[in-house]
Chains A and B, each alone.
Chain A
Amino acid sequence: MATDRSTPSAPALRVENLHKSFDEVEVLRGIDLTVAEHEVVCLIGASGSGKSTLLRCINLLEPVDSGRIWIEGDEITGRGVNVNKVRRRIGIVFQAYNLFPHMSVISNVTLAPRKVLKMSADQADARAMELLTRFGLAEKRDQYPDRLSGGQQQRAAIVRALAMKPDLLLLDEITSALDPELVAEVLDVIRELATEGMTMIIATHEMGFARDVADRVCFLDQGVILEQGPPSVMLSSPSEPRTQRFLQRIISAGRL
């Protein structure tokens, strides 16, 4: 673990010159990114630009080829880092929810608090119910995931991640698998988390949502962050031609 843990000004996340290849294809070619505490960063860019890979590298689901990552000043890419401990601090919500289909909603939420944080069943249940109630899922506690709508499943997945009280939440295109009428109920949850000050990195195709919720928008292109800035600038008058072309395509597709 690195040195400047006690420094109060350590950013929630720092990524330095991150590279990642799958076989011959270099997906990330030198990502530099710093996210401050309570900041909400939206990653935009075409499919295959590396958004998902970047998120999966940040919580070490994918081993990085080179480069370094710090969480609140602690380096997590060094040798001898306990990845299980690192992942407790970083929540991730997936595009396809990835709920555990053989467990009820409440068991999905309490599994990690009980087994990883060693909370008692009562404690874990209480915390889970608090979160489920807040996000309108209290009456679904004993249902199995396949009995829930897509929107409810995704909200349950968000609750499951929040139950670990992560310092940083990663959201990987969490509305892409949803029917259009279910998108809003999930985005509302994220808006609420943003106002509470949750530090989040959000890979998204929902530009309207990015404009609302993001403190900063990063445009990923061919494995690098080509351009970044406040959403008001990035989503109306970006300076890079590639960003302009991407936005043009989004606008003509009616997504902004």
Chain B
Amino acid sequence: MSGVAPTTPPELLGSRQSRLLGRLRPGGVAIATLSTIVVFGVIGYVIVSSPGWPVVQQTFFNAEEFWAAFPKLLPALIKNIQLFLIAEAFILLFALGLAVMRSLPGPAFFPFRLMAVVYIDLFRGVPSILVIFLIGFGVPALRIPGVTNDVFVLGLITLVILWSAYVAEVYRAGIEAIHPSQDAAARSLGLSRAQGLRYVILPQAVRRVIPPLLNDFIGLQKDTALVSFIGVIEVFSRTQIIVGASFNFTAYMSCAVIFLVLTIPMARFVDWLVARDRKRQLATVAR
């Protein structure tokens, strides 16, 4: 490539292997294996040889309870999946609106920027569970005619409110990463500010932030468990019901496994996306 291009020079990119495995040579594999056995062996020994282990094993790691929990938990998982899929759709739209609002230039738009900043600061700064209680219990208590008392809907709205604040900041980072010369080029052709944003800035910005957006999507998936506290019967509240009846905590482990099965593939997918973008960038620079 000649001339001025908005790409990182190759020396800054370097070549990085999987961070988990590092770059293993034959001798390295032996060392990694040995050190893994030693480290995990010591940790395992300390836990298993502790005085309370027999009781803990019985209450948290009971194989029978573990498998028995799944048939009861999985039907409730539908609620979580509904929650995060519907919420994500609204979050992606609403947060984009917030980010654009926060990026509006000039003094005339100051009140809109202010609103966006206050909103984002507020809902990023307050513990999620607090907002869930406020909306889940507060809104029905107002008894406004026509406003729903459905805890599922209220929980959904709360998740949208909370996560939009995070996602808006991800979008904003993407918008600010686009060089002002792109806006200048769009405006110089006679495109309005809105057209420049829509056709030139946002398509580039969104593409850049897909991995962090997916990261927040993982966070949202986990947070669906929080709406159990306002009475939505989803997978975590179902777990608590099981635990309450059996006085055995193993169902929590089953619940954890269910969430991991949801989130780990997404995490690997994000890694794969990042690696692919990296490769493309290197390929462009190398030409």
For A160, what are the chain B residues with a Cβ–Cβ distance below 8 Å? 189
Within 8 A of B (CB), among A113-169: 115-116, 146, 149-150, 153, 160-161, 164
Contact between chains at B3 and A85 (CB < 8 Å): no
Contact between chains at A100 and B181 (CB < 8 Å): no
Contact between chains at B189 and A96 (CB < 8 Å): no
B204 sits at the interface (CB 8 A): yes
For B203, what are the chain A residues with a Cβ–Cβ distance below 8 Å? 102
Task: Kindly identify which residue among A87, A91, A98, A164 contacts B182, using a CB–CB cutoff of 8 Å.
Answer: A98
Q: Check A102/B187 contact, CB under 8 A, given A96-B4, A178-B3.
A: no
B48 sits at the interface (CB 8 A): no
Q: Check A87/B284 contact, CB under 8 A, given A94-B184, A96-B181.
A: no
Contact between chains at B191 and A112 (CB < 8 Å): yes
Number of A-B residue pairs at CB separation under 8 A? 81
Contact between chains at A115 and B185 (CB < 8 Å): no
| Measured CA separation A182–B3 after assembly (Å) | 11
Contact between chains at B189 and A161 (CB < 8 Å): yes
Which applies to chain B's interface (DSSP): helix, strand, loop or mixed? helix
Task: Kindly identify which residue among B2, B184, B190, B207 contacts A112, using a CB–CB cutoff of 8 Å.
Answer: B190
For A179, what are the chain B residues with a Cβ–Cβ distance below 8 Å? 2-3
Within 8 A of A (CB), among B169-201: 181-182, 184-192, 195, 199-200
For A95, what are the chain B residues with a Cβ–Cβ distance below 8 Å? 4
Within 8 A of A (CB), among B144-161: none
**Interface residues contributed by chain B, number (CB under 8 Å):** 25
Task: Kindly identify which residue among B190, B195, B199, B204 contacts A101, using a CB–CB cutoff of 8 Å.
Answer: B204
Contact between chains at A85 and B190 (CB < 8 Å): yes
Contact between chains at B199 and A61 (CB < 8 Å): no
- Rounded to whole Å, the gap between the CB of A112 and the closest CB of chain B is 4
Contact between chains at B185 and A100 (CB < 8 Å): yes
For A59, what are the chain B residues with a Cβ–Cβ distance below 8 Å? 188
| Measured CA separation A131–B190 after assembly (Å) | 19
Contact between chains at A150 and B3 (CB < 8 Å): yes
Contact between chains at B189 and A164 (CB < 8 Å): yes
Q: Check A96/B3 contact, CB under 8 A, given A84-B190, A87-B187, A116-B195.
A: yes
A38 sits at the interface (CB 8 A): no
Task: Kindly identify which residue among B7, B181, B191 contacts A116, using a CB–CB cutoff of 8 Å.
Answer: B191
- Rounded to whole Å, the gap between the CB of A55 and the closest CB of chain B is 10
A29 sits at the interface (CB 8 A): no
For A84, what are the chain B residues with a Cβ–Cβ distance below 8 Å? 187, 190-192
Which of B188, B195, B204 neighbours the largest number of chain A CB atoms within 10 Å of its CB? Answer: B188
User: Which 6 residue pairs are nearest across A and B when measured between Cβ atoms?
Assistant: A112-B189, A98-B185, A177-B3, A88-B190, A150-B3, A96-B4
Residues of B at under 8 Å CB distance from A? 1-7, 181-182, 184-192, 195, 199-200, 203-204, 207, 284
7 A-B pairs in the complex with CB atoms less than 8 angstroms apart = A56-B184, A87-B188, A88-B190, A100-B182, A102-B207, A146-B1, A182-B2
